Every structure is written in structure tokens, then in C-alpha cells.
Amino acid sequence: MNRPRILVPGKINERILERLPEMFETVRLERADAALVTPDMAGVAGIAVSGRLPTELMDAFPDLEIIANFGVGYDGVDVARAAARGIVVTNTPDVLTEEVADTAIGLLINTLRLLPQAEQWLRQGRWARDGAFPLSPLSLRGRKVGLFGLGRIGLAIARRLEAFGVSIAYHTRTPREGLAFAYHPSLRSLAEAVDTMIVIVPGTQSTLKAVNADILAALGPQGVLINVGRGSTVDEAALIAALQNDTIAGAGLDVFENEPEVPEALLALPNVSLLPHVASASVVTRNAMSDLVVDNLKAWFSSGEALTPVVETPFRRDARD
């Protein structure tokens, strides 16, 4: 019996490549580009992808049944097109929740207390030469934290924040039941009520540049913005201006509009903490994500049902036309 053919376009975690031969024939592409598809790739039934999957590449495979996305966010996949074709799309929720939540808290503390700058002060010999590192102007003490997004990761962040004794509020499209956190029906209302905003929403049209100059102004001069969601959610030019003009006090960013490119204006600012999109980047968590990618593919072709299909594609294999 022929093994299902799984396409891997571009770079992906090595653990996925190591595990795919357990059940599949792996087909590689140098990058996610439909122009690279050759006739000998016919019969591809699944795609394992990290990052963007062009619609043209998806449509190059008429026998495609499943797209296994490496990551909880799947905005790089044209899920509407996949749904129209009856293709199930999977992601990797839960297995990265705690790691990303930990990173969000670490990034918040780094931003408020200037810990990376303090470490450089020591490493550069300035402690011995110039004396104590300057006092950080900001602190987590007494902060009012607002979460833009309260899904799995947002809720995990909120639970961690409870231990710090800060007040917690949130904005989502609809309120979550059974929570003591204050709900705000609009992002502007949330920004006006807090001085610290943590962004953890997916990159969609509805969240595109949702954190704009107006929202930043509402956050205020003691305001701090933390983004561990998607770079597209924040108007980067507006954020740079707000930081330069002291409209807000600081920002901590793990994601950017045009990754891996980061504006020089951001790099030059003293009141930011910047990370290269590493929120889930531990060996333990990336291995778990990789395993879920492969396990979704194996479950689909063995039992006819994916483990973690996204809500837009709740398909079963036996229901395909």
C-alpha cells in the first residue's frame, strides 16, 4: 500500500522531518512557491507547514486533504479557501500555551524593570566603573493590566498576573463567563481603564493595526504595551511615535510587522524590550508542537479525524466528497 505523500515547503522543525517517515512519504520544496511544483509531486495529500502557505501552492495539489500548521496561529493559511475545498486545517494549541504565557510575563518585567539593560550595565563593567545601575522609573507594583484577547494563552497570562496582585481587565468580542476580571466591550475602553496592555490576539482583518495611535494615547504617559500575539495587530509607526514622544512609557515586543526586519527607530529606543519572536521557542515546547503536527497527520490518515482541527474546518475524512 502506498504511503500518503506529505509536502513540506521551506523550513520546518527537524523533529517533524524525522517523524514523517513513520507513516508518510515526504516531498520537499525549497520554499513555499507554487512555481517550484513539478509533475513528480502529484498525489500530495497533506502539507506540513511553518509560516505562510500561498493559496496558489495549496491549489497546485488537487488531492490535498489536510494542512498541518506548525503554530497556534494559522493566519498564514487561506483557511476560507481550504474550507471551500473540504481541506482540514490543523494547528498546535495548548502545547505552547504555558511557554508563551511565561514569556509574556518575563517580557513585561523586563520592560518595566529594564533588566536586560541592567545586565548589560554589569557585563560592560559599568557597575564597578560608574556605580549602581539607575533606578527603573517603572514597576509592576500597583499596575492595572488589560489583556487584549483572553483565549487559552490570554487566560494563562491572567492566571499568572493574579499572583502579582495587580488588577486585571480584558477585551474580547464577547465576555467570558465565570471570570472576576473586568470586561470592556471596546479596546478603547480597555486602554482608558488600564496602564498596561498585553496583546495576545490572532492576526486577522479585524485585529489589523487595532492598537493604533488613538489606543496608545488612551493608554497614557505611564502606559506600557506588551505584544506576544501578532505584529500586524499593532500600528508599528504609531507605536514608534508614541514611544519617541512619551505618549506611552515603554513597550515589550516579541512580534513585528515585517519579521525578521525590525525598524532601526525601534532598536534605537531606550524604553523598549525586544525579542526575536521566541515566545514558544524552547526545545521542550517546539518538540511538543512538532509532535502535534505529525500526530494530526497520522490521525487523519489512520482514523479519519484530525486531533486539533481549526474551527473553520471541522471535517471528517469519511465525509469528503
Report whether pLDDT(149) > 80.
Answer: yes
Q: What's the mean pLDDT in 104-116? A: 98
Asked if 178 and 225 sit in the same domain, the reply is yes
User: What is the band of 319 on the pLDDT scale with cuts at 50, 70, 90?
Assistant: confident
CATH of the domain at 85: 3.40.50.720
Would you state the cell numbers that stand for residue 219, as one nine-digit string? 493608554
Asked if 102 and 89 sit in the same domain, the reply is no
Asked if 161 and 250 sit in the same domain, the reply is yes
Would you state the cell numbers that stand for residue 256, as one nine-digit string? 513585528
Would you state the cell numbers that stand for residue 301, as one nine-digit string? 490518515
Q: Where are the beta strands (DSSP E) in 50-102?
A: 66-69, 88-90
Identify the residue whose cell numbers are 545601575: 133
**Digit-coded pLDDT (tens) for 209-224:** 999 999 999 999 999 9
Asked if 123 and 88 sit in the same domain, the reply is no
Q: 148 — phi, psi (to 5°)?
A: -90, 95
Asked if 153 and 117 sit in the same domain, the reply is yes
The per-residue pLDDT for 2 is: 85
The per-residue pLDDT for 321 is: 57
Identify residue 58 by its one-letter amino acid code: M
User: What is the band of 79 on the pLDDT scale with cuts at 50, 70, 90?
Assistant: very high
The per-residue pLDDT for 36 is: 97
Asked if 127 and 24 sit in the same domain, the reply is no
Asked if 184 and 313 sit in the same domain, the reply is no
**pLDDT above 70: percentage of residues in the chain:** 99
Selected catalytic residue, list 15, 52, 126, 277 = 277
Quick check: is 277 catalytic?
yes
Selected catalytic residue, list 14, 259, 316, 320 = 259
Report whether pLDDT(259) > 80.
Answer: yes
Asked if 206 and 267 sit in the same domain, the reply is yes
The per-residue pLDDT for 6 is: 98
Q: What's the mean pLDDT in 184-195? A: 98
Asked if 71 and 85 sit in the same domain, the reply is yes
The per-residue pLDDT for 267 is: 97
The per-residue pLDDT for 192 is: 98
Asked if 267 and 288 sit in the same domain, the reply is no
Asked if 26 and 146 sit in the same domain, the reply is no
Identify residue 224 by its one-letter amino acid code: V
Quick check: is 259 catalytic?
yes
Selected catalytic residue, list 5, 19, 143, 230 = 230
Q: Give the integer Cα–Cα distance in Å for 10 and 70.
A: 12
Count: domains in the chain: 2
User: What is the band of 97 on the pLDDT scale with cuts at 50, 70, 90?
Assistant: very high
User: What is the band of 317 on the pLDDT scale with cuts at 50, 70, 90?
Assistant: very high
The per-residue pLDDT for 41 is: 95
What mean pLDDT, rounded, does the chain reach? 97
The per-residue pLDDT for 190 is: 98
**Digit-coded pLDDT (tens) for 279-316:** 999 999 999 999 999 999 999 999 999 999 999 999 99
42: containing domain = 5-93+283-319
- Encode burial over 112-147: b for 16+ CB neighbours within 10 A, e otherwise: bbbeeebeebeeeeeeeeeeebeeeebebeebebbb
- Encode burial over 72-84: b for 16+ CB neighbours within 10 A, e otherwise: bbbbbbbbeebbe
Q: What's the mean pLDDT in 175-199? A: 97
Report whether pLDDT(1) > 70.
Answer: no
Asked if 74 and 116 sit in the same domain, the reply is no
Q: 190 — phi, psi (to 5°)?
A: -65, -45
Round to the nearest angstrom and report the end-to-end CA distance of the chain: 22
> What strands lie across the sheet with 88-90, from one edge to the other?
25-29, 5-9, 44-49, 66-69, 88-90
